[in-house]
């Protein structure tokens, strides 16, 4: 099954609700979409949603690399040789995981369509749906409560609250949300690298009675010794996110037991194939995984969902990056029922269930 044509498209997607985290404020995301067509007429779609502060890429540089190198490289390639294709892209474009992720996504999409099944079934089909958390950015305690109560009314039972700028305010937010919403709602707290060791210990002591499910990336991404120390001292499960970009990172973090959990994002790891390897390392070390996301189209979120549904070691999902995107070309690819993410039911990534794609 050879690749007959390839095209790339740049889009700026605005957010309906801008938000802040410890190191950034976000009101839009820039994405690249690719379409691959085989000689048998099967189409596959993929997308890249790079973050310069996380993956070191921009969408414009991603499209430039695609136009300059990948478009001509992919033509005539056999889709079923995807491991060889992706390894070659990794070799020629190091440090560009989102670029690799969008090609990986499109190739997996085609193969699952050819097989006649949704992608998660081709990958292993461990479960049919998974709850997702929904994110509340850094805002006042009062506003945090308003958003939290609104999301719960919409059926979400897992809230991800961002912090890292003011530990005492973070403690107040977590305790107030926990008091108001009770034990039926689980809280995930993400410091986004904002804490010192003292901050982390203060936070853990201050929220010990709250209903917190996990404590994500308290330290600077390169400070694995501090991450390990907090993990050892914490009664809450600690999760690494920004500290994990590559397969090599997964090896060192898992080998040294620096964390209890890892956050696998396809844009960071370079796609589903590499994500599978990262998850296997974590599983071998007895570390659980969550599949997370950037701000990205429902197409990218669908890829993360299919990956999350395929493996038992993936315990959590944080796949809400599409919910605030305006004019998403792939809007409607996912179903959400009472906070539970469900694939569209179509073969591959499921975009074939859409009536129209507005690229």
**In the block, which residue shows the tokens 């074939």?**
352
Residues sharing a CB contact under 8 Å with residue 355, sequence separation 6 or more, in sequence order: none
The token duo for 78 is 């056999």
For position 314, what pLDDT does the model report? Answer: 98
pLDDT tens digits, one per residue of 93-152 = 999 999 999 999 999 999 999 999 999 999 999 999 999 999 999 999 999 999 999 999
Based on the domain organization, do 144 and 47 belong to the same domain? no
Residue 358 lies in a domain: no
Based on the domain organization, do 177 and 143 belong to the same domain? yes
Dist CA 13 CA 29 (whole Å): 5
Exactly one of 77, 162, 186, 228 is catalytic; name it. 162
Confidence class of residue 27 from pLDDT cuts 50, 70 and 90? Answer: confident
What angle do the packed helices 298-309 and 272-284 form, to 10 degrees? 40
41 φ/ψ sector (left φ>0, alpha ψ -120 to 50, else beta): left
Look at the chain and report how many structural domains it folds into.
Answer: 2
Based on the domain organization, do 216 and 263 belong to the same domain? yes
Q: Return the percentage of the chain with pLDDT > 70, whole number.
A: 100
For position 23, what pLDDT does the model report? Answer: 72
**In the block, which residue shows the tokens 């006649």?**
116
Catalytic, 265? Answer yes
- Among 73, 88, 116, give the residue marking a domain's end: 116
- Residue 262, classed as helix, strand or coil, is strand
pLDDT tens digits, one per residue of 262-319 = 999 999 999 999 999 999 999 999 999 999 999 999 999 999 999 999 999 999 999 9
Phi, psi of 229 (to 5 degrees): -65, -45
User: Helices (H), strands (E): how many in the chain?
Assistant: 13, 14
Polymer length of the chain: 359
Dist CA 359 CA 213 (whole Å): 38
Catalytic, 14? Answer no
For position 357, what pLDDT does the model report? Answer: 87
pLDDT tens digits, one per residue of 133-144 = 999 999 999 999
Residue 219 lies in a domain: yes
pLDDT tens digits, one per residue of 82-94 = 999 999 999 999 9
**In the block, which residue shows the tokens 């997308």?**
47
For the chain, the average pLDDT equals 95
- Among 116, 131, 160, give the residue marking a domain's end: 116
Dist CA 101 CA 92 (whole Å): 14
User: The CATH number of the domain where 72 resides is what?
Assistant: 3.30.390.10
Based on the domain organization, do 130 and 232 belong to the same domain? yes
pLDDT tens digits, one per residue of 329-357 = 999 999 999 999 999 989 999 998 887 88
Structural domain including 163 reads: 121-353
DSSP class per residue in 72-139: HHHTT-BGGGHHHHHHHHHHHSTT-HHHHHHHHHHHHHHHHHHHTSBHHHHHT---S-EEB-EEE-S-
The token duo for 217 is 């990336």
The residues with which 131 forms a beta bridge, in sequence order, are 340
Residue 359 lies in a domain: no
Confidence class of residue 170 from pLDDT cuts 50, 70 and 90? Answer: very high
């Amino acid at each position: 099954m050879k690749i007959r044509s390839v095209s790339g498209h740049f889009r700026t997607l605005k957010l309906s609700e801008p938000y802040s985290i410890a190191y950034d404020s976000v009101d839009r995301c820039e994405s690249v979409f690719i379409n691959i067509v085989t000689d048998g007429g099967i189409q596959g779609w993929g997308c890249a949603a790079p973050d310069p502060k996380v993956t070191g890429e921009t969408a414009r540089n991603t499209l430039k690399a695609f136009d300059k190198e990948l478009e001509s490289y992919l033509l005539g390639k056999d889709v079923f040789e995807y491991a060889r294709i992706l390894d070659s892209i990794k070799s020629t474009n190091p440090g560009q995981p989102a670029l690799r992720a969008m090609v990986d996504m499109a190739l997996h999409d085609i193969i699952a369509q050819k097989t006649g099944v949704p992608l998660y079934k081709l990958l292993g089909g461990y479960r049919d749906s998974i709850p997702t958390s929904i994110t509340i950015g850094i805002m006042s305690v009062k506003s945090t409560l308003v958003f939290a109560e609104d999301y719960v009314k919409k059926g979400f039972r897992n809230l991800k609250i961002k912090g890292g700028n003011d530990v005492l305010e973070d403690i107040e937010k977590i305790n107030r949300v926990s008091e108001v919403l009770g034990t039926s709602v689980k809280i995930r707290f993400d410091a986004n690298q904002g804490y010192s060791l003292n901050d982390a210990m203060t936070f853990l002591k201050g929220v010990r009675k709250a209903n917190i499910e996990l404590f994500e990336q308290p330290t600077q991404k390169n400070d694995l010794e501090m991450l390990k120390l907090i993990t050892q001292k914490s009664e809450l499960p600690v999760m690494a996110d920004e500290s994990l970009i590559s397969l090599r990172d997964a090896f060192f973090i898992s080998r040294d037991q620096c964390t209890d959990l890892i956050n696998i994002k396809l844009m960071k790891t370079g796609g589903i194939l590499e994500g599978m390897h990262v998850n296997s390392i974590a599983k071998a070390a007895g570390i659980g995984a969550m599949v997370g996301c950037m701000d990205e189209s429902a197409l990218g979120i669908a890829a993360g969902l299919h990956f999350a549904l395929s493996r038992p070691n993936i315990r959590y999902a944080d796949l809400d990056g599409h919910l605030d995107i305006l004019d998403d070309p792939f809007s409607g690819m996912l179903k959400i029922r009472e906070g539970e993410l469900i694939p569209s039911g179509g073969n591959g990534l499921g975009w074939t269930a859409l009536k129209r794609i507005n690229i």
